[in-house]
Amino acid sequence: MSDLSAFSLDGKRVLVTGANTGIGQGIAVSVARAGGEVVAVGRSSMAETVEKVEAAGGRIQPFACDLSDGEAVKTLLDRVWGQCGPLDGLVNNAGIIRRSASTELSEADWDDVIDLNLKAAFLLCQAYGRKLLDEKRAGRIVNIASLLSFQGGIRVASYTASKHGVLGITRILANEWASKGINVNAIAPGYIVSNNTEALRADANRSAAILDRIPAGRWGTPDDIGEAAVFLLAPASRYMHGAVVPVDGGWLAR
């Protein structure tokens, strides 16, 4: 295997959830640049992502799916398999955040975040794992965790719980599937320019405090996460199982 081929996704088909914007869009474009075909899943228009992927010379198949609907999640991979063919990789990126003091967090806000960020991610891993095992295929799963897989945060109880859970399912599935040729790993993004951090970036004091702690001195970009995802989807990471890669500008090193 040449040095370049170890980092290539040429001939690979990768599903990315939440690919319509932000980190998911960045991952989709990075996969395309690495030679992979993108299956982009989201519940809103994918037009911008399609344009960016095609501009990068890549191929993309958009699928509309509301991942907060458990039944829709369970049938998604059957739809993709039938229309596009088998998947070589799955990136669980879709997620939401609800900010509230823990004493005020509603049960609905708890359920909405846990259902999308954790339950849907697990159900997709489960469905994908079943297909790979039934067909004796190798595959890659990359789950998008968070700095709050390691820390507590403030005013984001359901999000923190969900991201601790994402790291947990990454590890247990790696334990169960590593010997079957299925790599399950995670990325823990730091503070990235995305919809989820819009409120923080709009607060001048909070934004300044965050930047002051980041050794790199800047907010991350979706491309920063996308390139890390390509590595975990590519042959170069073949002996990585149950790992979590912080891509945080050095935040956790402080």
Domain 5-244 top-level CATH class: alpha beta
Band (1; pLDDT cuts 50, 70, 90): very low
Q: Residue 199 has what pLDDT?
A: 83
| Domain range list for the chain | 5-244
Provide Rg for the chain, Cα atoms: 17
Band (168; pLDDT cuts 50, 70, 90): very high
Is residue 202 over pLDDT 70? Answer: yes
**Helix, strand or coil for residue 15?**
strand
Mean pLDDT of 82-105: 97
Token digits of residue 239? 């002996």
Residue whose structure tokens are 């170069």: 236
> CA 140 to CA 243: how far, in whole Å?
12
Mean pLDDT of 43-51: 95
In order of 72, 88, 137, 159, the CA distances from 11 in angstroms are 28, 9, 15, 35
pLDDT higher at 209 or 1? 209
Residue whose structure tokens are 């198949």: 61
Band (197; pLDDT cuts 50, 70, 90): confident
Predicted TM-score (pTM) above 0.85: yes
Dihedral through CA 129, CA 88, CA 136, CA 145, nearest 10?
A: -30
Q: Residue 17 has what pLDDT?
A: 98
Side-chain half-sphere of 119: how many Cα atoms within 13 Å? 17
Band (3; pLDDT cuts 50, 70, 90): low
With contact defined as beta carbons under 8 Å apart, do 179 and 130 qualify?
A: no
Band (166; pLDDT cuts 50, 70, 90): very high
pLDDT digits (tens, 9 = 90+) for 223-244: 999 999 999 999 999 999 999 9
DSSP string for residues in 18-64: TTTSHHHHHHHHHHHHTTPEEEEEESS--HHHHHHHHHTT-EEEEEE
Positions marked active-site:
159
